[in-house]
Structure 1
C-alpha cells in the first residue's frame, strides 16, 4: 500500500469532498451511508465526528451512529463466557437491529427515521432513545468494529488499521483477549481490501492513509 501522511481533519475534508461530488450525490429521497471500521482502540468515533463537522460546513446534515449502541444483552454476549472469541465475532453486535433500525430506513425511498442506539451495555437495559429523522440527502455515519464483515450497504467505507502491537498497547488489559478476534477478522474479512480507504493509526497523532481508492 502507498501511504500518505495526513491529519484527521484534512482526511475528513477529503472524505466529505468525495461524498459531495455531484457524480456521487444521492438521488431524490435517498441518503449516503459511510462506515468507519476499526477496533475500539482505533478511535473510529473521532474520525466520524470530524467527518460530521466537515459535512456540516458544507451544508450537509449527518447522523453519527456508534455500533456500541447496538450491543446485544449481556446474557447473550456472555453465554459462552466473557472472553469467547467466536461469540465476539458473531454474537456481540445486534446486526439484525442495525439492518432494521439504521440501514433499512435509509434505503432508497425509506423514511430516514433512524434509531441512534438500542442497548446500553453499562446498565444492560434498552436505551429508549427517540428516533432521529435524517433528511433526504443526508449522510449516515456508522462507526465501530467488525463492520466490513456483514455486507452492510456502505457508499463509502474506511478501515482504521492498528498493528497487533499498537492494538495491544492501546487496548485496556482486560480487553486484550479481543486481539485474537481482530486477527481473525483481518484474515477472514480482509477489511483492508474491502474498504475504500485504509488509515494507519498506530500513532494517533500522525495518521497516514491510502486516500480513497478507485473501484
Structure 2
C-alpha cells in the first residue's frame, strides 16, 4: 500500500470536495476509528456549511445500548465492547434510513444518554434535501450501515495503545478482533494512517 502525507485541513478539504460531488441529495459520511474520528467529523462542519450544505453531527456514542445490556458480562468485557455496545439497528433506523430516497429526512441526533442511562428524548432534526450527516464512532464498518462516503482512521497496535486511555486498555482485544475479522481498511473508501495525529497519511488508490 502507498500512502501520501496529508494535513488534517487538507484532508477535510478533500472530503468536502467528495461530498459536494453528490449534488442535490442527502449524503451520509461515516468516519470510523478508535481515536480522532470526532475531530475529523467536526472539521468538516464549517467547510460544508460554507459550500451551502447543511451538516448534522451524529456520534455513535449517542446510540449505545443501555447499561444493563452493555455491562451484562461486566464493565470490562472485550466481547461485549465488540458486539453489544452500539445499537446499529437504531443507527440505521433513526439516522441513515431517513436519508434514503423517499425517507422522511428527519434524523435523530442521539438516542441514549449514557451518563443518565436513559433515552435522550431529543427531537428529530429535519435535514434539507442536500443536507449531510457526519457520523463518527468506533467499529462501525461491516455492520450494515449504508453510507455514501466512508473513512477509516487506521492505528497500529502500538499507536492504539498510546491513544486509548489506560482505563480503556481492557478493550484492546476488541479492536484487534475488529481489525482481523472485519478488516475495515478493505471496506472504507478512504483510509488514513493516524499513528501520529500531527502527520497523518492518506492511502493512495492503486493505479
TM-score over 0.5 (shorter chain): yes
TM-score class normalised by the smaller sequence: over 0.9
Corresponding residue pairs, total: 206
Structure-to-structure mapping, 1:137-156, within 5 angstroms: 137-156=130-149
Cross-structure match for 1:111:
104
Q: Which aligned segments of 4 or more residues in structure 1 are displaced greater than 6 angstroms?
A: none
Structure-to-structure mapping, 1:73-112, within 5 angstroms: 73-112=66-105
Cross-structure match for 1:4:
4
For residues 44 and 133 of structure 1, the distance between their equivalents in structure 2, rounded to whole angstroms, comes to 24
Correspondent of 1:125 among 118, 139, 142: 118
Q: CA deviation at 1:32?
A: 1.0
Q: Is 1:25 the equivalent of 2:23? A: yes
Q: TM-score, normalised on structure 2?
A: 0.95
Runs of 5+ unmatched residues, structure 2? none
Cross-structure match for 1:35:
30
Runs of 5+ unmatched residues, structure 1? none
**SS in structure 2 of the partner of residue 206 of structure 1:** coil
For residues 37 and 112 of structure 1, the distance between their equivalents in structure 2, rounded to whole angstroms, comes to 23
**SS in structure 2 of the partner of residue 199 of structure 1:** strand
Q: CA deviation at 1:25?
A: 2.7
Q: Is 1:69 the equivalent of 2:62? A: yes
**SS in structure 2 of the partner of residue 157 of structure 1:** strand
Q: CA deviation at 1:145?
A: 0.5
For residues 172 and 136 of structure 1, the distance between their equivalents in structure 2, rounded to whole angstroms, comes to 40
Cα deviation code 1:2-39 (max 9, x no counterpart)? 11111111101111111212xx335xxx4111100001
**SS in structure 2 of the partner of residue 176 of structure 1:** helix
Q: TM-score, normalised on structure 1?
A: 0.92
Correspondent of 2:196 among 200, 203, 211: 203
Q: CA deviation at 1:142?
A: 0.7
Q: CA deviation at 1:198?
A: 0.5
Q: CA deviation at 1:52?
A: 1.8
**SS in structure 1 of the partner of residue 141 of structure 2:** helix
For residues 23 and 181 of structure 2, the distance between their equivalents in structure 1, rounded to whole angstroms, comes to 32
